[in-house]
A and B are shown apart, each in its own frame.
Chain A
Amino acid sequence: MSFIEFKHIGKKYAGADKNSVSDFNLEINEKEFIAFVGPSGCGKSTTLRMVAGFEEITEGDLYIDGKKVNETAPRDRGIAMVFQNYALYPHMTVEKNIGYGLKNMKMPADQIKKKVDWAIDILGLQEFRYRKPKNLSGGQRQRVALGRAIVKNQKVFLMDEPLSNLDAKLRVSMRTEISRLHREMGATTIYVTHDQVEAMTMADRIVIMKEGVIQQVGKPMELYDHPVNKFVAGFIGSPQMNFFDVTVKGKEVTFKDGNKLTLPEAIINKLNGREGEMTLGIRGEDLKMDAQNLELYKENKMRAVITDTEVMGNENNLYFQFGGCQAVARVSKYEISQVGDEIEFVFMPSKIHFFDKETEVNYL
């Protein structure tokens, strides 16, 4: 049974022309870690704040643990939240910040101490126990915010871009820490982020949103391999999927620069007779340059000149002009190319996507 249920949830701010969130339907299972992802202004934080009770739900019903909570006060919803800007109490020490909620719950002092000690221990905050937030680094503050959330043993954890203020290295370590905490605590977690890497690495399922509307819900690899539309395809994955404007006629795909590609039977069948102008999408790692693939798909061999390179350490990103736009190929670190080199590459046929030019829906 679903633990959190969104039924046709919508949010329209007073005076606004259109909804910030529209017809949001979702069922979240108990102990599930779900990430809401999307660009700024897509409604992910608004949706989270409606779950918390900080934003009024203007349409639909929200259920937590079987109870309708539309009108329930935030404190009575059984939730804990980690905020983007930490929202620590500046005049209280780490210890008092973590224990404040428990104190208000009228928990006996010895139990508060036990719980605070436990949180301080597992978050590695021992030496900062008596410090105030202004004397802590961003990562330490975020850990205090996490501590404040976990001690209360709530059923639902809400996290609103909790790592966005941290530097890249700290983000990676905090990602692991949050995942570990989720495994240990087993609380149902909704995690809002605009960083698709965070969503891919941490979530059991991802909800991708755009302009207040859910675009796709699925496991990380489902979204990566089978995006329902061009927006999802472009949002998930780094570097972004390559998109080419093409014309499909029978088996033949013609790129804007005149290059042609012959499609295998399987894809033609999936296209189900669709022809004409559409968008071809393929991920950088599915543009192959190794000898084996060049030989295997030699009838579709393409050529281009490298215009830019990105050395990532474990792999290289090669940028080139092809099909009337810039494309990127992700190759292994052993496939070294320089700017100006001419390269040969092939499209992995099974990894090609075709999107409708107007609706941007994925045909395959």
Chain B
Amino acid sequence: MLTKKQKTFNWVLAVFLLLLSIFFLFPVIWMLANSFKPDAAITADMNSVAAFIPPALNGNYFENYITILTDTNFLRYMLNTLGYAALLIVLGVIVNGLAGYALAKINFPFRDQWLLIIMMLLIVPTETVITIHFLIIAKAGLLNTVIGYVLPMIVNPFNIFLFRQVFVSLPDDVYEAAQLDFCSPVKYFFTMVLPMSKTVVATVSVFTFLGVWNDYLWPSLVFTSSDLLTAQIGLNSITSNDNTTMGQTLAVITLITIPVIIIYALFSKQIVEGVTSTGSKEG
């Protein structure tokens, strides 16, 4: 039972946090409000509260968005990225999941040492190995291909570790029961282990999606063809174009933010669980 003092403190804290969150939301609100305005209106409103207020309906409400979606390839880039994310989610869950399962449940020589090595890989920044990835992919003749882009991104030590942490607590007798039910080890993984570990599958999927969606460096190295570009690179090329207006820039930034917001809204539970279950956070 909370005392009156504690209740008052909780209220004060809630109000303070609310104000703080509004403060952090200001740039987002500003971006959203101005993405619907022509450049002249943005400049006019710049030094007033109106900068945070969307324009009244005047018929040209979505002009910036329509321009971005019709005059540029941005929609294509978004769809490309969604496709890569879907592919990497499927492959990532299978490959990292199987590795995590082996580290959790199968006894093989030097298993713990393997786990240690994989955990050590967590501290290696992606940027340090990207040159090697690039050279290998270039040598294999896979530059500017989807395979070349996807291949180095499938294996993820963080996801292997995440899967391993969850699989280690799965009861062994379910596997034994499944064996007596004529279930093969591979079938067991796909029909039992993954459905029993929906939370970690969701967490890994969300992290993979966010990773692919926000990645700039690797796709900018692999892709040269405009047909294969990702949304982040598309964003850069659109915003760095001299003909792009401020309103259009804000519209394209808003568009690229929408999927991330949707994912966070739908899977915030999984993201929090994923972070807390490992005691770490992917950068």
Taking chain B's interface residues, is the majority helix, strand, or loop, or is none over half, making it mixed? helix
Q: List chain A residues, Cβ under 8 A from B196.
A: 89-91
B179 touches A87 (CB 8 A): no
A104 touches B183 (CB 8 A): yes
Q: A84 CB to closest chain B CB, in angstroms?
A: 8
Q: A359 CB to closest chain B CB, in angstroms?
A: 38
The proximity string for B residues 47-83 relative to A, scoring 1 for CB distances below 8 Å and 0 otherwise, is 0000000000000000000000000000000000000
Q: A347 CB to closest chain B CB, in angstroms?
A: 47
Cβ of A54 under 8 Å from chain B: yes
Cβ of B195 under 8 Å from chain A: yes
The proximity string for A residues 74-86 relative to B, scoring 1 for CB distances below 8 Å and 0 otherwise, is 1100011101110
A87 touches B195 (CB 8 A): no
Cβ of B127 under 8 Å from chain A: no
Cβ of B155 under 8 Å from chain A: no
A87 touches B171 (CB 8 A): yes
Q: Which of B168-187 contact A (CB under 8 A)?
A: 171, 173-174, 176-183, 187
Cβ of A209 under 8 Å from chain B: no
B181 touches A101 (CB 8 A): yes
Q: List chain A residues, Cβ under 8 A from B182.
A: 75, 101, 104-105
The chain B residue with its CB closest to the CB of A92 is B195
Given contacts A89-B192, A90-B196, A91-B195, whether A81 and B176 have CB atoms under 8 Å apart is yes
B173 touches A148 (CB 8 A): no
Q: List chain B residues, Cβ under 8 A from A231.
A: none
Q: Which of B171, B173, B176, B187 contacts A74 (CB 8 A)?
A: B176
Q: A144 CB to closest chain B CB, in angstroms?
A: 11
Q: A174 CB to closest chain B CB, in angstroms?
A: 19
The chain A residue with its CB closest to the CB of B177 is A87
B173 touches A83 (CB 8 A): yes
> In the complex, A89→B192 CA distance in Å?
7
B179 touches A104 (CB 8 A): no
Q: B226 CB to closest chain A CB, in angstroms?
A: 44
> In the complex, A54→B196 CA distance in Å?
22
Q: List chain B residues, Cβ under 8 A from A152.
A: 181
> In the complex, A152→B174 CA distance in Å?
17
A85 touches B181 (CB 8 A): no
Q: Which of B177, B192, B195 contacts A83 (CB 8 A)?
A: B177
Q: How many residues of B contact A (CB 8 A)?
A: 16
A85 touches B173 (CB 8 A): yes
Q: List chain B residues, Cβ under 8 A from A54.
A: 176
Q: How many residues of A contact B (CB 8 A)?
A: 22
A89 touches B174 (CB 8 A): yes
Q: List chain B residues, Cβ under 8 A from A73.
A: 179
Q: List chain B residues, Cβ under 8 A from A79.
A: 180
Cβ of A3 under 8 Å from chain B: no
B181 touches A87 (CB 8 A): no
Q: A54 CB to closest chain B CB, in angstroms?
A: 5
> In the complex, A163→B183 CA distance in Å?
26
The chain A residue with its CB closest to the CB of B192 is A89
Q: List chain A residues, Cβ under 8 A from B179.
A: 73-75
A89 touches B171 (CB 8 A): no
Q: B229 CB to closest chain A CB, in angstroms?
A: 39
Q: List chain B residues, Cβ under 8 A from A74.
A: 176, 179-180
> In the complex, A105→B182 CA distance in Å?
7
Given contacts A90-B196, A91-B196, whether A81 and B181 have CB atoms under 8 Å apart is no
A101 touches B180 (CB 8 A): yes
Q: B209 CB to closest chain A CB, in angstroms?
A: 23
Q: List chain B residues, Cβ under 8 A from A50.
A: none
The chain A residue with its CB closest to the CB of B170 is A90
Q: B149 CB to closest chain A CB, in angstroms?
A: 34
The proximity string for A residues 101-133 relative to B, scoring 1 for CB distances below 8 Å and 0 otherwise, is 100110000000000000000000000000000
A148 touches B176 (CB 8 A): no
B178 touches A89 (CB 8 A): yes
B177 touches A148 (CB 8 A): yes
Cβ of A100 under 8 Å from chain B: yes
> In the complex, A148→B178 CA distance in Å?
11
Cβ of A37 under 8 Å from chain B: no
The chain A residue with its CB closest to the CB of B197 is A91
A-B residue pairs in contact (CB < 8 Å), sample of 29:
A52-B180, A54-B176, A74-B180, A81-B176, A83-B173, A83-B176, A84-B173, A87-B171, A87-B173, A87-B174, A87-B176, A88-B174, A88-B177, A89-B178, A89-B192, A90-B174, A91-B195, A91-B196, A91-B198, A100-B183, A101-B180, A101-B182, A104-B181, A104-B182, A104-B183, A105-B182, A148-B177, A148-B181, A152-B181
Given A75-B179, A90-B196, A100-B178, 10 other A-B residues pairs in contact with their CB atoms under 8 A: A81-B180, A83-B173, A83-B176, A83-B177, A85-B171, A87-B174, A89-B177, A101-B180, A148-B177, A148-B181
- Interface of A with B (CB < 8 Å)? 52, 54, 73-75, 79-81, 83-85, 87-91, 100-101, 104-105, 148, 152
